[in-house]
A and B are shown apart, each in its own frame.
Chain A
């Protein structure tokens, strides 16, 4: 029986820039950063209130089993916003939108009221998109 997710991958165009974005703008925390032979790097971050789930900021360069062709295909998909999509929860979508917008984060969809609640969609520095919706008050940990 599968019990938990411990790691997820987000493919990024530049790991240094992605680290700045996820930590400096979104407020994630750097968890592990290990340089690897051949230009690779194992780099993970965690969401502020979810330290047990590591998000690996994966390189899109030829490395390990990845050929130059694989890497170019992945970069193209990521750049066009066609590859990554995931969902974030926050305490307040409007406040998070205001704060991240002020920091220069791009929102393809600003806060929008939907039948199921208010959502927004943000884009990371590589082109991956994430929805943003609100935690139920009772699930807030702080």
Chain B
């Protein structure tokens, strides 16, 4: 028995979303994605937007940019992050990244590296003092 009306439709949309979640770094296209949901492309795009508020292409791009952000956090180079997550052009990646985060990839990477350095050197500055004092945490930094 279906738990709610039209559950099967949701399952098909979610199945296509999960395909993007799992394979976003591969060169997947709209046909493959809508095929996963067993809908025509135009019908799928309309339903996907209704459910998630964005069209599938935007969702896929957001996934790639988010993964790129994580790679830059880990110190991966801008070029490697760009091509690893499935962008084919560095300028296109840089523009999209800046539009999403407000920073160019290189500037973002440098700022995150600086944050990581500062966090290692002064960890208590990254923990709200109120928490630390109330819970008795001052001077409890891990000596490493």
Contacts and interface: CB of A to CB of B under 8 A. Distances in A.
Interface of A: 6-7, 32, 34-38, 40, 42, 56, 64-66, 91-92, 94-95, 98-99, 102, 110-111, 113, 137, 140, 142
A25 to B, nearest CB: 11
Interface string B101-136: 000000000000000000100010011100100111
A31 B3 CA distance: 35
B142 A94 contact: no
Given A34-B123, A37-B142, A91-B52, A64 B14 contact: no
A65 B135 contact: yes
B136 A64 contact: yes
B51 interface: yes
A34 B143 CA distance: 12
Nearest to B138: A64
A104 B90 CA distance: 37
Contacts of A95: 10, 13-14, 17, 51-52
Most interface-central of A34, A95, A137 (chain B CB within 10 A): A95
Contacts of A6: 128
Contacts of B7: 94, 98
B11 interface: yes
Contacts, number: 76
Contact of B53 (A32, A56, A65, A140): A140
Interface string B2-40: 011001001101100110000000000000000000000
Contacts of B139: 37
B19 to A, nearest CB: 12
Closest 9 CB pairs of A and B: A65-B136, A64-B136, A35-B142, A98-B14, A64-B135, A140-B53, A34-B123, A92-B51, A37-B140
Contact of A56 (B10, B13, B119, B131): B131
B3 A111 contact: yes
Contact of B140 (A64, A91, A99, A102): A64
A142 B54 contact: yes
Nearest to B9: A94
A64 B137 contact: yes
A137 B10 CA distance: 18
Contacts of A66: 135
